[in-house]
Amino acid sequence: MKPHPDWELMETLLTHVRTYQQLANKHGIADIFQDNGGKLLQVVLLLGLKVLPGREGNDAVDENGKEYELKSVNTDLTKSFSTHHHINPIIIDKYRKVDWVFAVYCGIELQAIYRVASKDLEVFYKTWETKWNESGGKDINNPKIPLTFVVERGELLYGQPPTPRTVAGPLQEVDEE
């Protein structure tokens, strides 16, 4: 096998990617290609947050010690935010204690950042608790929070509100008869 003609370009670009990873390492992000690490770095630097170590606690903390849960969405792929693969009362209790920061991306371009107070997410917490209890204590796999909810209820911290088409998806053709 021989390298693709774009291999040399890839090698050139990797120099910059390695610099990006060094910056991420400085801020506690071990891999910019895992768990939205590159996007996480952009958000924490823009908002002046510090990444919290480990995977069990909240994601970041501000200069006053207030912690946050961070989520991102790529509107080219989906119109809702992922939460956690094992939602249960312990995770819900953790979520209730912090505000959430939602970053909205179109591909790799940051469009907007919203903060949603934990109390405004209570509708989700209650729904998840009910579902968990009704299932006999079975963890819920990654329930979603719609982008429309975040845009309607959140405080815009950065950027511009996404367009209705970005939030709701492509416009649908309507057959007129």
HEC string for the chain: CCCCCCHHHHHHHHHHHHHHHHHHHHCCCCCCCCCCHHHHHHHHHHHCCEECCCCCCCCEECCCCCEEEEEEEECCCCCEECCCCCECHHHHHHHHCCEEEEEEEECCEEEEEEEECHHHHHHHHHHHHHHHHHCCCCCECCCCEEHHHHHHHCEEEEECCCCHHHHHCCCCCCCCC
> Catalytic residue positions?
59, 69, 71
